[in-house]
Amino acid sequence: MVTISRNDLQGLIVSCPGLKLVEVLPEASYQKFHLRGAINIPLAPHFDEQFLQIFTDKNQTIVVYSLNFECKLSKQAVQRLQELGYRNIYDYEPGKIDWNAAQLPVEHGTPKTAPDVKQQGFLFL
């Protein structure tokens, strides 16, 4: 399992076209705030099926995150995805609390679409 830091994630966003961000927390937590461009696939009974339906390319670069270091949902999700054959899965273990504390871009509510992160116009200072 590959875990990444905030700086690693910022680098991936800049260097990896088509990068996808996936929050695995329940929808209510996602709607409070989430990383800009992230989609929500809660780690729940139908997680595997939902993920396989959305991400048919198992070589897609995907970063999974949850709340923070204490929350182990992202780690569990990455393990399941590796078992399903996904090869470029990263765990942003510090989670959305770390991202928000650094005052990096977040969104509130449910986005209408799930665009590529790179197309969101990130600017890191």
pTM equals 0.87
Instruction: Return the pLDDT at 111.
Output: 56
114, part of any domain: no
pLDDT tens by residue, 41-100: 999 999 999 999 999 999 999 999 999 999 999 999 999 999 999 999 999 999 999 999
Distances (CA, A) of 57 to 2, 34, 37, 74, 88: 19, 24, 19, 20, 10
Q: DSSP character for 36? A: T
SS3 44: coil
List of residues 6+ apart from 7 with CB closer than 8 A: none
pLDDT tens by residue, 98-120: 999 999 999 998 754 444 444 44
For the CA atoms of 59, 120, 32, 5, what is the dihedral angle to 10 degrees? 60
With cut-offs at 50, 70 and 90, classify the pLDDT of residue 1. confident
113, part of any domain: no
Separation of alpha carbons 35 and 19, rounded Å: 13
pLDDT tens by residue, 12-24: 999 998 999 999 9
What CATH number does residue 87 fall under? 3.40.250.10
121, part of any domain: no
Domain of residue 15, residue span: 2-105
- Total domains, the chain: 1
71, part of any domain: yes
